[in-house]
Amino acid sequence: MAQAVFLDRDGVLNEVVVREGKPCAPASVDEFTLLPGVPEALQKLDEAGFLLIVATNQPDVIHGTVKREAVEAMHERLRALLPLDDIKVCYEIESSGSQCYKPKPGMLLEAARERAIDLSRSYMVGDRWRDVGCGRAAGCYTIFIDRGYREALQELPDATCADLKEAAAIILANEACQTRERRAE
């Protein structure tokens, strides 16, 4: 079975706008800027054999503050610039009926079914409590990128770091350790 690194979009791959201590997604392609080190970090993970899958909540579309076409244009830019295997998007809002809105694991479960991914050997990287909760619910190793938002974690991640470059290093070190352990058995 395949291994994946699931990536939140805003605050992990691209810059966010912080309002009142909370991260907000860019509203247009013109506001959409990759964070430093992202292409290099993903290239290393890609070369290590991981599937790279974005899992992003985009409720601003249903709220009417961002057009779906703008979100799709941002994703086309991501596909052109980064070695991504897929982009899963939840356009819903948090509700009891939603199975994809993080922290619910629907996007990860769907990707796992489609691509034969072993979630227990995969990773979820995000900058908000919802990402950590989603990864936990799916059975992934969770890595929290601490951007200093005024938003408490509701579950502890497996690891905390400053950016995607550091997250990639954690993943690759963890994999090297597990490989050594399997060889020793």
Per residue in 5-38, pLDDT (tens digit) is 999 999 999 999 877 777 789 989 999 999 999 9
Give CA separation, 160 vs 13, 28, 141, 169, in Å: 16, 29, 11, 12
Q: Which domain holds residue 104?
A: 4-184
Q: Which two tokens stand for residue 65?
A: 């503050």
- Per-residue pLDDT reduced to its tens digit, 104-139: 999 999 999 999 999 999 999 999 999 999 999 999
Placement of tokens 């991981």 in the chain: 50
Task: Answer yes or no: 131 catalytic.
Answer: no
Q: CB–CB of 94/111 below 8 Å?
A: no
* Structural domains in the chain (count): 1
pTM of the predicted model as reported, rounded to 2 decimal places:
0.94
Catalytically annotated residue among 8, 127, 131, 163: 8
* C-alpha to C-alpha distance for 147 and 170, rounded to whole angstroms: 17
Beta pairing class for 141-145 and 17-19: unpaired
Check if 8 is active-site. Answer: yes
CATH of residue 111: 3.40.50.1000
Q: Which of the following is catalytic: 10, 60, 131, 163?
A: 10
